[in-house]
Structure 1
Amino acid sequence: MSKKQTLDHPHFLKLFKKEGILSIKEGNGKVITLMSPDKWRSEMGNDWIYLLFDIFQIRSICEQYSEVSLDIVEFASKPTIYHSKPNRVIPEGPLINDTLKFSLIREPNWNKLLFQISKPTLVKIATEAKADVKTDLLFPLFSPGTKEMYLGAEGDVKILKG
């Protein structure tokens, strides 16, 4: 019988809340860095992805979406990174070609950690940072089946990586 894989939520959350940034070595041995969006600076680069725990958080980072676009996010069966126009009210953030990237994380353990952080959180995947903590749990966006799509506010959809 294999050991159940989980995250040490209280420990990870305490470290994240203290500094607003946390590097985690996940189950594949790759390091991801979680960061509060208010800590982001342009010199940190634009290859960050907003992580969401709930579909309603999209409104806080992106322009108003059509029902079609929301349905695509809500019913996606595989990990997906979406590219969309940012909400005009969000402060400066990591943009590439005037779009931001986000992903709705459904894996229960990672979702719970994001829920406890309680706001959209930036992640940089496969960083060179030294890990603060580690887990045996795999980070969902490292899946070979991870897709990338552009979603427009008017319902326009473009598959970038299938």
Structure 2
Amino acid sequence: MDIKEVVAVLKQKGRVSIQEGNGKVLEFISLNAWDSQKDDPNGIFLLFETFQIRTISEQFSEVSLDVVEFATKPTIYHTIAGRMLQNGPRQNGQVKFSLIKSDVWNRLLFSFGQSLILQYASHKESDFQMAEYFPLLSPNAKEMYLSPDGDIKIIRA
């Protein structure tokens, strides 16, 4: 799979579906293309660098930033949605996000240049296939709540 082709489809259509190494079809959506009427409010913001957290959430404490930056296992974080976030998945005033460190998936996000929204596709067709496993589907994936004040709550260990 050529990352340039995936990015081209994303820029043209605003969304792309990729079948990852386990056979699961994932849909990646740009923030501008996310539609609250048809897209999943459980979507997860995928980030390639920690500074992107500012675009989706309230200001973070140093402790919370360190937790995200130094995590060794794939983790989905829940936090309070930022006041400036106009579009995108949220539930009860919270957003989910993950800092993707896995090489090829991080390169895809970096090449697009913005955070993407992940939702698990209900359809079986995909635009592209990738041999690499998506890290958030790993049995080792964790889930945590991080408050802007530095409070941490483990949701799934």
2:25 alignment counterpart: 31
Structure 1 residue 45: Cα displacement: 2.5
Equivalent residue letter for 1:39:
A
2:10 alignment counterpart: 16
TM-score of the aligned structures, taking structure 2 as reference length: 0.95
2:90 alignment counterpart: 95
Q: Which segments of 5 or more consecutive residues in structure 1 lack a partner in the other structure?
A: 1-6
TM-score of the aligned structures, taking structure 1 as reference length: 0.92
Structure 1 residue 89: Cα displacement: 0.7
**Number of residues paired by the alignment?**
155
The 3-state SS of whatever aligns with 2:4 is helix
**Counterpart check, 1:75 vs 2:91:** no
Equivalent residue letter for 1:107:
S
The 3-state SS of whatever aligns with 1:58 is helix
Identity %: 45
Q: Which segments of 5 or more consecutive residues in structure 2 lack a partner in the other structure?
A: none
Hey, what's the Cα distance between the residues in 2 that align with 1:102 and 1:159?
Answer: 15
Hey, what's the Cα distance between the residues in 2 that align with 1:136 and 1:108?
Answer: 13
Q: Considering only aligned residues, what root-mean-square deviation do their CA atoms show, in Å? A: 1.0
Hey, what's the Cα distance between the residues in 2 that align with 1:45 and 1:81?
Answer: 16
1:154 to 143, 149, 153: 149
Hey, what's the Cα distance between the residues in 2 that align with 1:117 and 1:92?
Answer: 18
Worse-matched range after superposition: 71-80 or 11-20: 11-20
Structure 1 residue 54: Cα displacement: 0.2
The 3-state SS of whatever aligns with 1:137 is coil
Structure 1 residue 90: Cα displacement: 1.3
Equivalent residue letter for 2:105:
W
Runs of 4+ in 1 over 6 A off after TM superposition: none
